Structure 1
Protein backbone atom coordinates (compact mmCIF):
# COMPACT_ATOMS: atom_id res chain seq x y z
CA UNK A 1 0.00 0.00 0.00
CA UNK A 2 2.74 2.46 0.94
CA UNK A 3 4.54 1.82 -2.33
CA UNK A 4 1.35 2.33 -4.35
CA UNK A 5 0.61 5.56 -2.49
CA UNK A 6 4.15 6.81 -2.97
CA UNK A 7 3.88 6.17 -6.72
CA UNK A 8 0.97 8.65 -6.81
CA UNK A 9 2.58 11.19 -4.53
CA UNK A 10 0.25 10.54 -1.59
CA UNK A 11 1.57 9.85 1.90
CA UNK A 12 0.02 7.24 4.23
CA UNK A 13 -1.08 10.08 6.51
CA UNK A 14 -2.88 11.81 3.62
CA UNK A 15 -4.56 8.55 2.64
CA UNK A 16 -5.64 7.98 6.23
CA UNK A 17 -7.07 11.52 6.43
CA UNK A 18 -9.10 10.95 3.26
CA UNK A 19 -10.48 7.59 4.40
CA UNK A 20 -11.34 8.81 7.89
CA UNK A 21 -13.19 11.79 6.45
CA UNK A 22 -15.13 9.61 3.99
CA UNK A 23 -16.07 6.98 6.56
CA UNK A 24 -16.96 9.55 9.19
CA UNK A 25 -19.11 11.80 7.01
CA UNK A 26 -20.20 9.34 4.34
CA UNK A 27 -20.15 12.10 1.74
CA UNK A 28 -17.68 14.52 0.20
CA UNK A 29 -18.52 17.38 -2.19
CA UNK A 30 -15.78 19.35 -3.90
CA UNK A 31 -17.68 22.64 -3.86
CA UNK A 32 -18.54 22.46 -0.16
CA UNK A 33 -15.27 23.84 1.19
CA UNK A 34 -11.58 24.27 0.47
CA UNK A 35 -10.83 21.20 2.59
CA UNK A 36 -13.31 18.98 0.76
CA UNK A 37 -11.94 20.21 -2.57
CA UNK A 38 -8.46 19.18 -1.43
CA UNK A 39 -9.67 15.72 -0.35
CA UNK A 40 -11.71 15.18 -3.50
CA UNK A 41 -8.71 16.04 -5.69
CA UNK A 42 -6.62 13.65 -3.61
CA UNK A 43 -9.17 10.90 -4.28
CA UNK A 44 -8.86 11.51 -8.02
CA UNK A 45 -5.16 10.62 -7.78
CA UNK A 46 -5.81 7.25 -6.13
CA UNK A 47 -9.41 6.11 -6.88
CA UNK A 48 -8.47 2.45 -7.24
CA UNK A 49 -6.69 2.37 -3.89
CA UNK A 50 -9.64 4.03 -2.13
CA UNK A 51 -12.17 1.68 -3.69
CA UNK A 52 -10.03 -1.40 -2.99
CA UNK A 53 -9.80 -0.38 0.66
CA UNK A 54 -13.57 0.15 0.88
CA UNK A 55 -14.30 -3.14 -0.86
CA UNK A 56 -12.72 -5.00 2.05
CA UNK A 57 -15.37 -3.38 4.25
CA UNK A 58 -18.08 -4.13 1.65
CA UNK A 59 -18.74 -0.41 1.48
CA UNK A 60 -19.53 0.95 -1.97
CA UNK A 61 -18.62 4.36 -3.28
CA UNK A 62 -20.80 6.33 -5.68
CA UNK A 63 -18.79 8.91 -7.64
CA UNK A 64 -20.89 11.61 -9.28
CA UNK A 65 -18.34 12.87 -11.82
CA UNK A 66 -20.44 15.70 -13.20
CA UNK A 67 -20.94 17.36 -9.82
CA UNK A 68 -17.65 16.24 -8.24
CA UNK A 69 -19.06 14.40 -5.26
CA UNK A 70 -18.46 11.11 -3.47
CA UNK A 71 -20.98 9.22 -1.35
CA UNK A 72 -20.56 5.96 0.56
CA UNK A 73 -23.21 3.25 0.87
CA UNK A 74 -23.17 0.48 3.47
CA UNK A 75 -23.55 -3.21 2.59
CA UNK A 76 -27.06 -3.96 1.35
CA UNK A 77 -27.77 -0.47 0.03
CA UNK A 78 -28.77 0.25 -3.55
CA UNK A 79 -26.36 2.45 -5.51
CA UNK A 80 -27.86 4.81 -6.36
CA UNK A 81 -30.97 4.46 -4.20
CA UNK A 82 -32.32 4.34 -0.70
CA UNK A 83 -30.57 2.06 1.72
CA UNK A 84 -32.48 -1.05 2.66
CA UNK A 85 -34.53 -1.08 5.85
CA UNK A 86 -31.92 -3.05 7.78
CA UNK A 87 -29.02 -0.68 7.27
CA UNK A 88 -30.20 2.91 6.95
CA UNK A 89 -28.27 5.96 5.79
CA UNK A 90 -26.43 8.59 7.68
CA UNK A 91 -23.27 10.54 8.36
CA UNK A 92 -22.05 7.38 10.04
CA UNK A 93 -22.83 4.51 7.71
CA UNK A 94 -24.96 2.76 10.31
CA UNK A 95 -26.86 5.77 11.58
CA UNK A 96 -30.55 5.37 10.81
CA UNK A 97 -32.42 8.36 9.47
CA UNK A 98 -35.39 9.41 11.56
CA UNK A 99 -38.92 9.38 10.17
CA UNK A 100 -38.98 13.13 9.64
CA UNK A 101 -35.57 13.04 7.96
CA UNK A 102 -36.70 10.32 5.54
CA UNK A 103 -39.85 12.31 4.81
CA UNK A 104 -37.90 15.46 3.98
CA UNK A 105 -35.46 13.53 1.77
CA UNK A 106 -38.43 12.22 -0.23
CA UNK A 107 -39.93 15.69 -0.55
CA UNK A 108 -36.59 17.16 -1.63
CA UNK A 109 -36.28 14.47 -4.29
CA UNK A 110 -39.78 15.12 -5.60
CA UNK A 111 -39.20 18.87 -5.76
CA UNK A 112 -35.85 18.37 -7.48
CA UNK A 113 -37.49 16.16 -10.10
CA UNK A 114 -40.16 18.81 -10.65
CA UNK A 115 -37.52 21.51 -11.13
CA UNK A 116 -35.63 19.23 -13.51
CA UNK A 117 -38.73 18.70 -15.67
CA UNK A 118 -39.39 22.44 -15.74
CA UNK A 119 -35.78 23.29 -16.62
CA UNK A 120 -35.25 25.16 -13.36
CA UNK A 121 -31.77 23.73 -12.76
CA UNK A 122 -28.63 25.87 -12.60
CA UNK A 123 -25.26 25.10 -14.19
CA UNK A 124 -24.24 23.15 -11.08
CA UNK A 125 -27.28 20.91 -11.35
CA UNK A 126 -28.97 22.53 -8.34
CA UNK A 127 -32.60 23.53 -7.84
CA UNK A 128 -33.55 26.52 -5.70
CA UNK A 129 -37.02 26.99 -4.23
CA UNK A 130 -38.65 28.86 -1.34
CA UNK A 131 -38.92 27.10 1.99
CA UNK A 132 -42.66 27.64 1.78
CA UNK A 133 -42.78 25.42 -1.32
CA UNK A 134 -41.20 22.55 0.63
CA UNK A 135 -43.83 22.86 3.33
CA UNK A 136 -46.60 22.77 0.73
CA UNK A 137 -45.01 19.81 -1.06
CA UNK A 138 -44.77 17.92 2.23
CA UNK A 139 -48.49 18.42 2.83
CA UNK A 140 -49.38 17.32 -0.71
CA UNK A 141 -47.07 14.29 -0.92
CA UNK A 142 -47.06 13.01 2.63
CA UNK A 143 -50.16 14.55 4.15
CA UNK A 144 -48.25 16.46 6.78
CA UNK A 145 -46.29 19.74 6.98
CA UNK A 146 -42.71 20.24 8.07
CA UNK A 147 -42.19 20.44 11.85
CA UNK A 148 -43.53 23.61 13.43
CA UNK A 149 -41.14 23.72 16.36
CA UNK A 150 -38.06 25.85 15.70
CA UNK A 151 -35.59 23.48 17.41
CA UNK A 152 -36.97 20.45 15.60
CA UNK A 153 -36.94 22.21 12.24
CA UNK A 154 -33.40 23.53 12.73
CA UNK A 155 -32.14 20.03 13.54
CA UNK A 156 -33.90 18.59 10.50
CA UNK A 157 -32.40 21.05 8.02
CA UNK A 158 -29.01 20.88 9.70
CA UNK A 159 -29.05 17.14 9.03
CA UNK A 160 -29.87 17.72 5.36
CA UNK A 161 -26.89 20.06 5.11
CA UNK A 162 -24.63 17.50 6.77
CA UNK A 163 -25.73 14.94 4.18
CA UNK A 164 -24.84 17.51 1.49
CA UNK A 165 -28.39 17.40 0.14
CA UNK A 166 -29.17 21.11 0.48
CA UNK A 167 -27.60 24.52 0.79
CA UNK A 168 -29.13 27.42 2.62
CA UNK A 169 -31.92 27.13 5.18
CA UNK A 170 -29.48 28.05 7.93
CA UNK A 171 -30.81 28.08 11.46
CA UNK A 172 -31.07 31.87 11.46
CA UNK A 173 -33.24 31.89 8.34
CA UNK A 174 -35.79 29.20 9.14
CA UNK A 175 -38.13 31.67 10.76
CA UNK A 176 -37.95 33.91 7.71
CA UNK A 177 -40.95 33.42 5.45
CA UNK A 178 -38.81 34.47 2.49
CA UNK A 179 -36.08 31.83 3.07
CA UNK A 180 -34.88 29.78 0.10
CA UNK A 181 -33.39 26.31 -0.09
CA UNK A 182 -31.00 24.99 -2.75
CA UNK A 183 -31.28 21.25 -3.43
CA UNK A 184 -28.07 19.57 -4.53
CA UNK A 185 -28.12 17.04 -7.40
CA UNK A 186 -26.82 14.39 -4.98
CA UNK A 187 -30.43 13.91 -3.86
CA UNK A 188 -30.89 11.65 -6.90
CA UNK A 189 -28.36 9.17 -5.51
CA UNK A 190 -30.45 8.62 -2.38
CA UNK A 191 -33.91 8.17 -3.85
CA UNK A 192 -34.41 6.03 -6.93
CA UNK A 193 -36.78 6.91 -9.74
CA UNK A 194 -38.87 3.87 -8.74
CA UNK A 195 -39.32 5.17 -5.19
CA UNK A 196 -40.18 8.61 -6.53
CA UNK A 197 -42.74 7.16 -8.95
CA UNK A 198 -44.41 5.27 -6.10
CA UNK A 199 -44.59 8.44 -4.04
CA UNK A 200 -46.13 10.44 -6.88
CA UNK A 201 -48.58 7.62 -7.66
CA UNK A 202 -49.66 7.62 -4.05
CA UNK A 203 -50.33 11.37 -4.29
CA UNK A 204 -52.35 10.92 -7.50
CA UNK A 205 -54.48 8.21 -5.85
CA UNK A 206 -55.51 10.44 -2.97
CA UNK A 207 -59.16 11.54 -3.24
CA UNK A 208 -59.79 15.18 -3.94
CA UNK A 209 -61.31 17.16 -1.07
Structure 2
Protein backbone atom coordinates (compact mmCIF):
# COMPACT_ATOMS: atom_id res chain seq x y z
CA UNK A 1 0.00 0.00 0.00
CA UNK A 2 1.26 3.48 -0.89
CA UNK A 3 0.38 6.55 1.17
CA UNK A 4 -1.91 7.74 -1.62
CA UNK A 5 -3.69 4.36 -1.64
CA UNK A 6 -4.21 4.63 2.10
CA UNK A 7 -5.80 8.06 1.64
CA UNK A 8 -7.96 6.86 -1.25
CA UNK A 9 -9.11 3.67 0.48
CA UNK A 10 -7.48 2.63 3.76
CA UNK A 11 -9.21 -0.75 3.72
CA UNK A 12 -7.30 -1.76 0.59
CA UNK A 13 -8.08 -2.86 -2.95
CA UNK A 14 -10.28 -5.79 -1.99
CA UNK A 15 -12.77 -3.57 -0.19
CA UNK A 16 -15.24 -1.07 -1.53
CA UNK A 17 -13.86 2.39 -2.22
CA UNK A 18 -14.53 4.73 0.67
CA UNK A 19 -17.62 6.83 0.01
CA UNK A 20 -17.52 10.55 0.72
CA UNK A 21 -13.75 10.60 0.21
CA UNK A 22 -13.86 14.26 -0.84
CA UNK A 23 -15.78 15.08 2.32
CA UNK A 24 -13.10 13.43 4.46
CA UNK A 25 -10.40 15.38 2.64
CA UNK A 26 -12.12 18.72 3.32
CA UNK A 27 -12.89 17.72 6.90
CA UNK A 28 -9.29 16.93 7.78
CA UNK A 29 -7.88 19.88 5.81
CA UNK A 30 -10.11 22.33 7.69
CA UNK A 31 -9.06 20.85 11.03
CA UNK A 32 -5.38 21.01 10.11
CA UNK A 33 -5.71 24.59 8.86
CA UNK A 34 -7.08 25.66 12.25
CA UNK A 35 -4.27 23.89 14.07
CA UNK A 36 -1.62 25.49 11.88
CA UNK A 37 -3.05 28.95 12.58
CA UNK A 38 -2.68 28.21 16.30
CA UNK A 39 0.86 26.92 15.68
CA UNK A 40 1.75 30.02 13.63
CA UNK A 41 2.54 27.76 10.69
CA UNK A 42 5.34 25.98 12.55
CA UNK A 43 5.67 22.22 12.27
CA UNK A 44 8.66 20.05 13.14
CA UNK A 45 9.84 17.05 11.18
CA UNK A 46 12.99 15.07 10.42
CA UNK A 47 13.51 13.24 7.13
CA UNK A 48 15.94 10.32 6.99
CA UNK A 49 17.48 8.04 4.38
CA UNK A 50 18.51 4.45 5.11
CA UNK A 51 19.83 2.64 2.01
CA UNK A 52 16.68 2.13 -0.10
CA UNK A 53 14.33 3.25 2.69
CA UNK A 54 13.12 6.75 3.45
CA UNK A 55 11.73 7.59 6.89
CA UNK A 56 9.98 10.72 8.07
CA UNK A 57 9.21 11.66 11.68
CA UNK A 58 6.57 14.39 12.00
CA UNK A 59 5.43 15.99 15.25
CA UNK A 60 1.67 16.33 14.73
CA UNK A 61 0.03 18.87 17.08
CA UNK A 62 -2.92 17.83 19.22
CA UNK A 63 -6.16 19.36 18.05
CA UNK A 64 -7.26 20.05 21.64
CA UNK A 65 -4.21 20.47 23.87
CA UNK A 66 -1.86 23.32 22.90
CA UNK A 67 1.85 22.53 22.65
CA UNK A 68 1.23 18.79 22.77
CA UNK A 69 2.56 16.71 19.89
CA UNK A 70 2.12 13.15 18.68
CA UNK A 71 4.90 11.23 16.98
CA UNK A 72 4.04 10.04 13.48
CA UNK A 73 6.63 7.95 11.65
CA UNK A 74 6.27 6.78 8.08
CA UNK A 75 8.60 4.34 6.38
CA UNK A 76 8.75 4.39 2.58
CA UNK A 77 10.03 1.16 1.04
CA UNK A 78 10.90 0.69 -2.61
CA UNK A 79 8.33 -1.52 -4.37
CA UNK A 80 9.43 -4.79 -6.00
CA UNK A 81 9.17 -3.33 -9.47
CA UNK A 82 11.56 -0.55 -8.49
CA UNK A 83 11.15 3.20 -8.80
CA UNK A 84 13.03 5.71 -10.91
CA UNK A 85 13.13 9.39 -10.01
CA UNK A 86 12.76 11.47 -6.88
CA UNK A 87 9.10 10.88 -5.96
CA UNK A 88 8.09 8.72 -2.99
CA UNK A 89 4.42 8.51 -3.97
CA UNK A 90 4.81 5.00 -5.44
CA UNK A 91 6.74 3.65 -2.46
CA UNK A 92 5.12 1.20 -0.06
CA UNK A 93 4.46 2.59 3.41
CA UNK A 94 4.31 1.45 7.00
CA UNK A 95 3.08 3.66 9.85
CA UNK A 96 3.59 4.39 13.53
CA UNK A 97 1.67 6.92 15.63
CA UNK A 98 1.23 7.32 19.37
CA UNK A 99 -2.05 9.19 19.10
CA UNK A 100 -4.96 7.51 20.97
CA UNK A 101 -6.99 6.64 17.86
CA UNK A 102 -4.10 4.72 16.33
CA UNK A 103 -3.21 2.99 19.60
CA UNK A 104 -6.66 2.04 20.86
CA UNK A 105 -8.46 1.42 17.56
CA UNK A 106 -6.10 0.56 14.72
CA UNK A 107 -2.65 -0.61 15.87
CA UNK A 108 -3.58 -4.30 15.76
CA UNK A 109 -5.22 -3.98 12.34
CA UNK A 110 -2.18 -2.17 10.93
CA UNK A 111 0.10 -4.87 12.37
CA UNK A 112 -2.05 -7.68 10.99
CA UNK A 113 -2.05 -6.11 7.53
CA UNK A 114 1.71 -5.53 7.47
CA UNK A 115 1.58 -1.73 7.50
CA UNK A 116 2.74 -1.10 11.07
CA UNK A 117 6.28 0.34 11.16
CA UNK A 118 7.89 -2.56 13.03
CA UNK A 119 11.08 -0.65 13.92
CA UNK A 120 8.93 0.88 16.65
CA UNK A 121 7.15 -2.20 18.03
CA UNK A 122 8.73 -1.50 21.41
CA UNK A 123 7.31 2.04 21.47
CA UNK A 124 3.74 0.83 20.98
CA UNK A 125 1.41 -0.53 23.65
CA UNK A 126 2.06 -4.27 23.82
CA UNK A 127 -1.65 -4.92 24.37
CA UNK A 128 -2.60 -2.79 21.35
CA UNK A 129 -0.40 -4.88 19.06
CA UNK A 130 -1.44 -8.26 20.44
CA UNK A 131 -5.17 -7.80 20.99
CA UNK A 132 -7.88 -6.73 18.57
CA UNK A 133 -9.84 -3.61 19.58
CA UNK A 134 -13.10 -5.54 20.07
CA UNK A 135 -15.21 -2.52 21.02
CA UNK A 136 -13.81 0.21 18.79
CA UNK A 137 -12.82 -1.91 15.78
CA UNK A 138 -14.54 -5.32 16.02
CA UNK A 139 -13.88 -6.16 12.35
CA UNK A 140 -10.18 -5.30 12.82
CA UNK A 141 -10.03 -3.18 9.66
CA UNK A 142 -7.58 -0.47 8.66
CA UNK A 143 -9.26 2.93 8.74
CA UNK A 144 -8.50 6.63 8.70
CA UNK A 145 -6.34 7.89 11.56
CA UNK A 146 -6.43 11.65 11.98
CA UNK A 147 -2.73 12.02 12.73
CA UNK A 148 -1.81 10.01 9.62
CA UNK A 149 -4.17 12.02 7.42
CA UNK A 150 -2.67 15.21 8.82
CA UNK A 151 0.80 13.85 8.05
CA UNK A 152 -0.24 13.21 4.44
CA UNK A 153 -1.60 16.75 4.05
CA UNK A 154 1.57 18.20 5.58
CA UNK A 155 3.76 16.15 3.24
CA UNK A 156 1.75 17.25 0.22
CA UNK A 157 1.89 20.93 1.13
CA UNK A 158 5.60 20.95 2.01
CA UNK A 159 6.99 18.86 -0.81
CA UNK A 160 7.93 15.99 1.48
CA UNK A 161 7.24 13.30 -1.10
CA UNK A 162 10.49 14.37 -2.75
CA UNK A 163 13.49 12.17 -1.95
CA UNK A 164 15.65 15.29 -2.11
CA UNK A 165 14.28 16.33 1.31
CA UNK A 166 15.62 13.19 2.98
CA UNK A 167 19.17 14.12 3.88
CA UNK A 168 19.81 12.85 7.41
CA UNK A 169 21.19 9.34 7.93
CA UNK A 170 18.71 7.12 9.78
CA UNK A 171 19.65 5.73 13.19
CA UNK A 172 16.87 3.67 14.75
CA UNK A 173 18.45 4.07 18.19
CA UNK A 174 18.69 7.85 17.93
CA UNK A 175 15.16 8.28 16.59
CA UNK A 176 13.74 6.09 19.35
CA UNK A 177 15.29 8.38 21.95
CA UNK A 178 13.05 11.19 20.72
CA UNK A 179 9.83 9.16 20.90
CA UNK A 180 7.76 8.71 24.03
CA UNK A 181 6.22 5.22 24.42
CA UNK A 182 2.56 5.18 23.42
CA UNK A 183 1.22 4.29 26.88
CA UNK A 184 3.17 7.13 28.48
CA UNK A 185 2.19 9.59 25.72
CA UNK A 186 -1.50 8.82 26.16
CA UNK A 187 -1.28 9.14 29.95
CA UNK A 188 0.40 12.52 29.56
CA UNK A 189 -2.30 13.60 27.08
CA UNK A 190 -5.04 12.63 29.53
CA UNK A 191 -3.38 14.56 32.34
CA UNK A 192 -2.88 17.69 30.24
CA UNK A 193 -6.42 17.41 28.86
CA UNK A 194 -7.86 17.22 32.37
CA UNK A 195 -5.78 20.20 33.49
CA UNK A 196 -7.01 22.18 30.48
CA UNK A 197 -10.63 21.29 31.24
CA UNK A 198 -10.26 22.46 34.84
CA UNK A 199 -8.63 25.69 33.69
CA UNK A 200 -11.47 26.38 31.24
CA UNK A 201 -14.14 25.83 33.88
CA UNK A 202 -12.62 28.11 36.52
TM norm structure 2: 0.30
Q: TM-score, normalised by structure 1?
A: 0.29
Higher relative contact order (CA 8 A, sep 6+): 2
Bigger share in strand: 2
Structure with bigger helix share is: 1
